[in-house]
Amino acid sequence: MPAVSEARVGVPDDVCLLVEGTYPYVAGGVSAWVHDIIKGHPELRFSVFNIGSRAGVYGPPSYALPDNVTRLHQTYCSELETTPITSAARERLDGEIRAFRRRGRSRLPPSRVLGAIRRLSLEIGRGDDRLLEDLACGDLSVGEFLHGRETFELLAEIAEKVAPQASFLDLFWHLRAIYVPILRLLPAVAPPARCYHTVSTGYAGLCGAVFSLRTGRPLIVTEHGIYSRERDMDLARASWIKDQPDAGDAIRVGARPSPLRDLWSHSFRALSQLAYRRASRIVTLSDVNRARQIADGALASKISIVPNGVEVPSADDERGASGLPVPPGLHGSQGPDDTRALRVGFVGRVVPIKDVISFIQACNLAMADVALDVRIIGPIAEDAAYVRRCVALVESLGLASSVVFTGPQPAQLIYSDLDVVVLTSFSEGQPLVILEAYAAGLPVVATDVGACREMVEGRSAPDRLLGASGLVTRVGTASETAAALVRLARDPLLRRRFGRAGRKRVLGFYRRQDMIESYRGLYRDMVSQ
């Protein structure tokens, strides 16, 4: 982490980037995008505000912070005790809140924050600008929330109106788990910045909205995946929420979804809406995501689409600035040996949302017809239990000699040794992996999530004229992914045609410099306000 001189203390940076867990600790994905944004704007000073679950969860940073990052701020939302705050930081926070209150009403009712929590829990979908103002006033501590009589009365009201069938004890623990992280984050001191840029909604979006409100500086929201939708998928699989048996129906087998799932879902959607409302600009990656943001309450007039981008090596340079290999055929070669096993790569975090289980099952089905050499390339430390499930599945299917977990690797070592890249995700934004594969002249197989279909088939009329650059499959359907792999293994000419179309697509519509220039203009507008 770069040192900050005494002369820099209190001097606002140009941009404070707010991230939830990712940069600089987790490699790839959103972290790679954040790193590109910072390096692409050397004329700007950045700080990074990282929200983690608790100290010690992440190992050493995966990225060395560029010279134009002045400071890495770290805060946690799941500590047993609130992270200590220095006297200087406490004085600054008190000043922020006093100034914010002076701009609003001088006479405040007790616990405006608890009133906001009541509306979040009971008045679903009726959020307004007052909601953020009440949260930002900072008049409720974690201890007061956990032990106050007013909280008990709120709990009783929620039990009566929202979850009459739920266990009262379960309701208490769920309400605690939903709101204690929020209460731990609200006292965070806003890093001095000319604008705040949150790289998701959720907790990072909440902090960005509160910082923007308290300081009067503009907020930019960028969403890669739609945060509330991804949390809904996590909740649907959450075994720690007990669904309720159908009372009075001894024959029917099943359960009704617990209203506690709805409490969680509504809370995440409310956090997104708070960030959308406060944002001066909202940036998304695709038309699909834009429609989902509007459905979740974002104003269409605030939203612009800025696709991700990568650097593409040229035929005159064996390796471009991105480090990606030049595709076969650009120097007159005839491409890879088509008689050997198809080299298939899954590139991404080994976590449930990437559905690596379906990828392994698909490879197993395809190997009944064609030879595959399979690599699972990406971080394996985030969800140890899921990694163990994946490894156990590989072993139980007898694929240990054909399916290798390589761990994370630099891009220049990944794509030069593959014939096709596969994504089986339940949710995506606009995967950089697909763009990196295209830059290396590789076809892709991807599930129909996020922007994947438009990345494979084209978004605009000129884009679609380039032709398909891979195959799209349904989510969670291993048989369709297997059929796509068999088809590509048996048709090397199709692989090359897809690879050429992908390279033209990334050259025409997904260049890193175009993305950087779009953000340069956005930052210029926000910083000058």
Q: What pLDDT, in 10s, does the model give residues 101-157?
A: 566 544 444 688 998 998 888 876 555 678 899 999 888 888 888 888 888 888 888
Residues 6+ apart with CB under 8 A from 263: 121, 158, 162, 163, 174, 175, 178
Q: Are 37 and 519 in contact (CB under 8 A)?
A: yes
* pLDDT above 60: residue 316: no
Q: How far apart are CA 29 and CA 23, in angstroms?
A: 10
- For the stretch 340-358, pLDDT in tens is 899 999 999 999 999 999 9
Across the chain, mean pLDDT equals: 86
Helical packing angle, 227-236 and 259-278, nearest 10°: 170
Give per-residue pLDDT as tens, 90-103.
677 667 666 665 66
Q: What is the per-residue pLDDT for 90?
A: 63
Q: pLDDT value at position 250?
A: 41
Instruction: Choose the weakest-confidence range: 178-182, 228-232, 300-304, 491-495.
Output: 228-232
- Higher-confidence residue of 244 and 56: namely 56
Higher pLDDT, 58 or 71: 71
φ, ψ dihedrals at 49, nearest 5° = -110, 105
Select the highest-mean-pLDDT range: 230-239, 316-325, 444-453: 444-453
**Homologous superfamily of the 6-98+184-305 domain (CATH):** Glycogen Phosphorylase B; (3.40.50.2000)
pLDDT at 325: 60
Q: Hey, what are 208's tokens?
A: 């960005």
pLDDT tens-digit readout, 362-384: 999 999 999 999 999 998 988 99
How many angstroms from the chain centroid is the CA of residue 120?
Answer: 23
DSSP 326: P
pLDDT value, residue 429:
86
Confidence at residue 85, expressed as pLDDT on a 0 to 100 scale: 59
Neighbours of 524 (CB within 10 A): 11
Q: Which two tokens stand for residue 489?
A: 């293994």
Cis peptide before 24 (omega within 30 of 0): yes
First to last CA, the chain: 29
Spatial contact of 21 and 78, defined as CB atoms under 8 Å apart: no
List, for residues 435-470, the tens digit of each pLDDT value. Answer: 999 999 999 999 999 899 999 999 999 999 999 999
What lies within 8 Å, CB to CB, of 528 at 6+ separation is: none
Q: Does residue 420 carry a pLDDT above 80?
A: yes
- For the chain, the domains span 6-98+184-305, 342-510
- CB hemisphere CA count around 210 (13 angstroms): 27
> Taking a C-beta distance cutoff of 8 angstroms, is the pair 291, 226 a contact?
no
Mean pLDDT confidence for 494-507: 96
Q: Which of 9-13, 85-89, 250-254, 490-494 has the lowest mean pLDDT?
A: 250-254
pLDDT (average), residues 291-313: 92
Phi, psi of 343 (to 5 degrees): -90, 110
249: pLDDT confidence band, cut at 50, 70 and 90?
very low
Angle 168-185/149-161 helices, nearest 10 degrees? 120
Specify the fold of 342-510. Rossmann fold (3.40.50)
Distance CA 100, CA 175 (A): 28
pLDDT at 317 over 60: no
Say whether pLDDT at 321 is over 50: no
Q: What angle do CA 157, 163, 165 make, to 5 degrees?
A: 120
Helix (H, G, I), strand (E, B) or coil at 463: helix
Number of helices and strands in the chain (H, E): 20, 15
* Residue 267 CA: distances (Å) to CA of 179, 182, 206, 241, 504: 9, 10, 11, 15, 42
Q: HSE of 484 in the Cβ direction (CA atoms, 13 Å)?
A: 25
Q: Can 6-98+184-305 and 342-510 be said to share one CATH topology? A: yes
Residue 3's pLDDT band (cuts 50, 70, 90)? very low
